[in-house]
Amino acid sequence: MTEHELISLWTRVRWHIIVSQLAPTFLLTALVALLSFGLAETELSVRIAAAGILLASGILGALAQIASANEGLFIVADLRALPASSALGRGVISSAPWINVVRFLTPAVFVVVYIALLAALFLPLA
């Protein structure tokens, strides 16, 4: 593949990473808002459903992020293998370490926030 084609793929991968963040972020925010309106006092089945929806969205979002991040690393490897690269190509290559934020840190943050929200949904206040 040419550098231009690889950078085009990189742009698509980066877009997929961004989009994969939208649903979990929206649902986390919505659940926090719903908690402030009394979600924690609703029937157990409603709270379990809310936790399940959030978990499913988080898992799917994390899988999409990890897959896209892995593809990004493959693109970087292919860019590195080219004989010479443009400033943009070198920029993509230099951003490779940050892909690990998407692969590891972002899903870890989701897990911590999810656990906090589960505590707010299911544990008594005092």
DSSP state of 85: -
**Which tokens sit at 22?**
């939208």
Which range of residues forms the domain containing residue 102?
3-122
Residue 20 confidence (pLDDT): 86
Residue 126 confidence (pLDDT): 60
Q: Lowest mean pLDDT of 20-24, 32-36, 86-90, name the range.
A: 20-24
Per-residue pLDDT band at 79 (split at 50, 70, 90): very high
Other beta carbons less than 10 A from residue 5's beta carbon: 11
Instruction: Tell me the Cα Rg of the chain.
Output: 19
How large is the average pLDDT for residues 34-42? 93
Number of domains the chain is built from:
1
Cβ neighbors of 64 (< 8 A, separation 6 or more) are: 16, 19, 20
Judge whether 110 and 61 are in contact, CB under 8 Å: yes
Nearest to 10 by CA among 61, 60, 79: 79
Judge whether 13 and 75 are in contact, CB under 8 Å: yes
Report if pTM > 0.75: yes
Q: What amino acid is encoded at 80 in this protein?
A: R
